[in-house]
Amino acid sequence: MTGCTRNVSKIAPVDTVLRNQARSIAGQLEWAEELDSAGLPQKNIQNNSLPLPDALPAINCPAPVFPSLNDFAVLDTRSLDPAAYQALTTFFAQAALKQIEKRKINADFLDDRFVFLPFLLENSFKNIHEVKKIYYAKPSFIEDTLQIPVRLQGENVHTDLQVFMHPKGRSWVIEQIYFGDQTNE
């Protein structure tokens, strides 16, 4: 080491290390006698230099990899309490997944301190497009309140929501729903 520089040894790229390991293993294998060697094309494993898939480095990743929607969020709901998830999915199944004229706001899932909330939400959900799928994303925790991003996906259109829930006894209730803009795709 001289001055501010030091010699650093180079690490072999992952594809070279794996290729060398594969060659070593293939060379040590004891192969059975071929039944019809003339009818099979010959392939030389030593000269095979196909590139490795880009996702290969993710195999060594110790944490799980979750899907995400580009303009939305990571779809990791592991930290969401099972009771909160059940309340959320049941509420949205009745409020959003049904045909517009059959949508219903179930006040049992709403905070009863806000008596006006069912009426406001009923009007809001009746004005939302036909919903084909609902995506729940990774929640944020603010003291005892959960903030959960929710996407209502329709045919070439979606609406993003922020749902705020808090515990009430052994269950969870919705305190507020913030409706984002409806976006055409």
Give me the average pLDDT of each 10-residue run along the chain (185 residues).
Answer: 54 66 79 63 57 61 66 80 93 90 92 92 91 91 90 91 93 92 75
pTM of the model: 0.63
CATH for 82-184?
A: 3.10.450.50
Give the pair of three-digit tokens for residue 20. Answer: 């060398």
Residue range(s) occupied by CATH 3.10.450.50 in the chain: 82-184
Q: Residue 184: what pLDDT?
A: 77
Q: Residue 175: what pLDDT?
A: 94
Q: What is the pLDDT of residues 83-134, one digit of tens each?
A: 999 999 999 999 998 888 899 999 999 999 999 999 999 989 998 999 999 9
CA separation for the pair 9, 2 (Å, rounded): 16
CB–CB of 93/112 below 8 Å?
no
What are the DSSP calls for 42-105, one per residue? P--GGG--PPPPTTGGGGG-SS----B-TTS-B---TTS-HHHHHHHHHHHHHHTSS-GGG---
